[in-house]
Amino acid sequence: MNSILLLTRLQITQMLGGLRAAIEKRTGANGAMAGTILIGVMLFGGLGYVGYAAYGIVGKLGLAKTIYDILFLMCGLLTFTFSLPTVLSTFFGSSDINDLLPLPVSPFAIVFSKVLSVLTSSYLWTFLFIAGPLAGWGIAAGEGLEYWVVYVLAVIFAPMMPTAYAGTLSILIATVFKRVRRKDAITTLTTIISLGLSIGFYFVINGSNLKAGVAQALGSLGSGVGSVVMAFPAYGFAVYAFTHPDPLGTWLFVLLSLFSLLVFVVVARVLYMRVVTSLSSGAGHAEAYTGSEAQEQTPVFKALLTTELHKITRNSSVLLYYVIYPLVISPALFGVMLMTDSTGKLIGMIGTIPGAKTLAVSIILSMLLLFFSLCACSNKVAATGVSREGSNWTHMKFIPVPVETQVLAKVTCGFVINVLIALIIIGGGGFVLLPRIGASPLVIVCCIVLAIGAAWLMVCAGAWTESRSPNVEWGNDGDVSAKTLKSGAAELRAILVGLAYSVAPLPAAILLNLDPLISMPILAIVGVAVAVLLGRVLLATTARNIEAFE
């Protein structure tokens, strides 16, 4: 037991090491401790007042269960989301396992200490959503002893189930993807899961009737949230314990919380030691790609394309900022915009204006193309292809493959991402918006084709811009961070290309007064032709710039 407590303290100290050192450097050890306590007391008091005021507003409307559901759901979702990277950092992102294994401690003690350290960090969200608000709520409601017993147990056990979910999932993902041999890819997978949960929670919130008054809005929200809370069964019993005097709910909440944590410990004990030996535990730098015998027999372009994909997926920073954000976050925001009542009303009003159909369709097409351009310009895969090689960029000049072919492989990866963005935004947005004013599906298809032309020209322009002055002051591509790569000029040129394609439907509607069924096929053909011709020129120039670069 002493070894577990000692290792847990070591894990927590290591987790807080950088932050603790930065604070103590400015305030000293005593000042840091006093400041932390003061901030905690002030925050707890503020959150308690929020709960106290909330009871005064809705407490007498019979919505206590809804409030409990919302607070526990927020606590569970945020605990789960932020526990994913914490688990990966604690179990796989630290090099301490090589120092711990020779010590006279059991593997169970090592694993359990890591579990406890992860659980400790999860209490932040319990403090924010359970401890503070429910304390103020209970004081305002004048609750008795039973309420405060459940309250204390809720504060102690609330983070266990979501932390256990995150930990078990992370360990299982690491086991399944252990051949990746990098925690970066695992981190990216868990990030995508977190984003999906966040977006799903938004749709739960948005599905409530927020204009029907506070009581009806909370009741509508509670009907959806209550079912989501059951994703954490222990929370369902916690809410039951708060709203009913039956102690059975309290015991079931405690037992389910402990059982979920036990499952996490068992899974970690069984699988962690196997996985950790096959995952490198550095700071997240990618390894040099060595290829395989199968790849040596692969056609050159396919081999280059596969290599580029490996380089992108190995670097979690590049994958997150250049691929996931433009491919997931931006289209999700566009989807949120489509769901608002104001968007539907605006489209409906435009559709009722006599003789305005042509102009309305053109405006919507330009808006779709513009939003596509804004999303696609943040995809800098092609605009950083050479820079991500670091000092290995010289291999591009000496391997027996034309530089233009290598550039084409790098550009193709970025182009595929932009095509996916076009399909998501213009395909999805077009089929939602344009039918409301009676536009033909052919118009949407032509708009997608025009966007694909823009997508190709955008990545070619990005590659050409980078080739003029690549940033290759790195050891290898794993040392590259998306936040430190300088690609602002490439992003600017990409957005200029996107803007040029975005405004194309408007002159056809305003100046030529052409029906979109006529103008969009013409614009699609011309746009693709221009993209192909200019793209070839830009790629050829890019190859010459790289060959001349010293």
pLDDT at res. 62: 72
Max mean pLDDT among 174-178, 220-224, 542-546 falls in 542-546
Q: DSSP states of 268-289 as a string?
A: HHHHHHHHHTTS--SSSPPPPP
Average pLDDT rounded to a whole number, residues 262-268? 89
Residue 80 and residue 170 share a domain: yes
Q: Is residue 287 in a domain?
A: no
pLDDT at res. 334: 62
Least confident of 41-45, 387-391, 465-469: 387-391
> Does 287 have pLDDT greater than 50?
no
Residue 341 and residue 254 share a domain: no
- pLDDT tens readout for residues 147-186: 999 999 999 999 999 999 888 887 877 676 554 445 555 5
**Could you tell me the pTM of the whole model?**
0.53
- pLDDT tens readout for residues 346-383: 555 555 555 566 777 787 888 888 888 888 887 888 87
Q: Is residue 445 in a domain?
A: yes
pLDDT at res. 276: 63
- Residue 447, burial from CB neighbour count under 10 angstroms (0-12, 13-18, 19+): buried
> Does 408 have pLDDT greater than 70?
yes
Residue 154 and residue 29 share a domain: yes
Q: Is residue 86 in a domain?
A: yes
Given a contact cutoff of 8 angstroms between Cβ atoms, the answer to whether 183 and 93 are in contact is: yes
pLDDT at res. 155: 94
Q: How far is CA 528 from CA 57, 383, 459, 501, in A?
A: 59, 21, 14, 10
- pLDDT tens readout for residues 475-516: 544 455 555 566 567 777 888 888 888 888 888 777 777 778
Residue 322 and residue 268 share a domain: no
pLDDT at res. 243: 87
Calculate ∠ Cα 130-36-29, nearest 5°.
150
Confidence of residue 453 (pLDDT cuts 50, 70, 90): very high
Calculate ∠ Cα 472-477-483, nearest 5°.
75
Among 245, 276, 307, the domain-final residue is 276
> Does 128 have pLDDT greater than 50?
yes
Residue 518 and residue 390 share a domain: yes
pLDDT at res. 481: 55
Q: Tokens in use for 187?
A: 């981190």
> Does 393 have pLDDT greater than 90?
no
d(C-alpha 166, C-alpha 163), whole Å: 5
The better pLDDT of the pair 297, 236 is held by 236
pLDDT at res. 271: 81
> Does 219 have pLDDT greater than 70?
no
Residue 326 and residue 264 share a domain: no
pLDDT at res. 149: 93
Residue 368 and residue 255 share a domain: no
d(C-alpha 466, C-alpha 463), whole Å: 5
Structural domain harbouring 33: 2-276
The better pLDDT of the pair 100, 528 is held by 528
Q: Is residue 284 in a domain?
A: no
d(C-alpha 220, C-alpha 273), whole Å: 47
pLDDT at res. 179: 46
d(C-alpha 312, C-alpha 322), whole Å: 9
Average pLDDT rounded to a whole number, residues 440-462? 89
Given a contact cutoff of 8 angstroms between Cβ atoms, the answer to whether 169 and 194 are in contact is: no
Confidence of residue 129 (pLDDT cuts 50, 70, 90): confident
Confidence of residue 282 (pLDDT cuts 50, 70, 90): very low
Among 276, 309, 344, the domain-final residue is 276
Q: Is residue 292 in a domain?
A: no
> Does 40 have pLDDT greater than 80?
no
Residue 160 and residue 80 share a domain: yes
pLDDT at res. 256: 92
Q: Is residue 509 in a domain?
A: yes
Residue 477 and residue 390 share a domain: yes
Q: Is residue 30 in a domain?
A: yes
The better pLDDT of the pair 162, 385 is held by 162
> Does 20 have pLDDT greater than 70?
no
pLDDT at res. 191: 57
d(C-alpha 428, C-alpha 64), whole Å: 39
Among 276, 292, 326, the domain-final residue is 276
Residue 227 and residue 95 share a domain: yes
Residue 346 and residue 215 share a domain: no
Work out the mean pLDDT of the chain and round it to a whole number: 74
Percent of the chain beyond pLDDT 90? 12
Q: Convert 46-69 to b/e letters by CB count within 10 Å (16 or more is b).
A: ebbbebbebbeebbeeebbebbbb
Given a contact cutoff of 8 angstroms between Cβ atoms, the answer to whether 301 and 409 are in contact is: yes
The helix/strand/coil state of 487 is coil
d(C-alpha 64, C-alpha 67), whole Å: 5
- Please state the φ and ψ torsions of residue 22, each to the nearest 5 degrees: -65, -40
Least confident of 421-430, 464-473, 497-506: 464-473
pLDDT at res. 452: 92
Q: Is residue 311 in a domain?
A: no
pLDDT at res. 152: 94
Least confident of 116-120, 138-142, 167-171, 234-238: 167-171
Residue 474 and residue 325 share a domain: yes
Q: DSSP states of 56-67 as a string?
A: HHHGGGT-HHHH
- Give the chain's domain count: 2
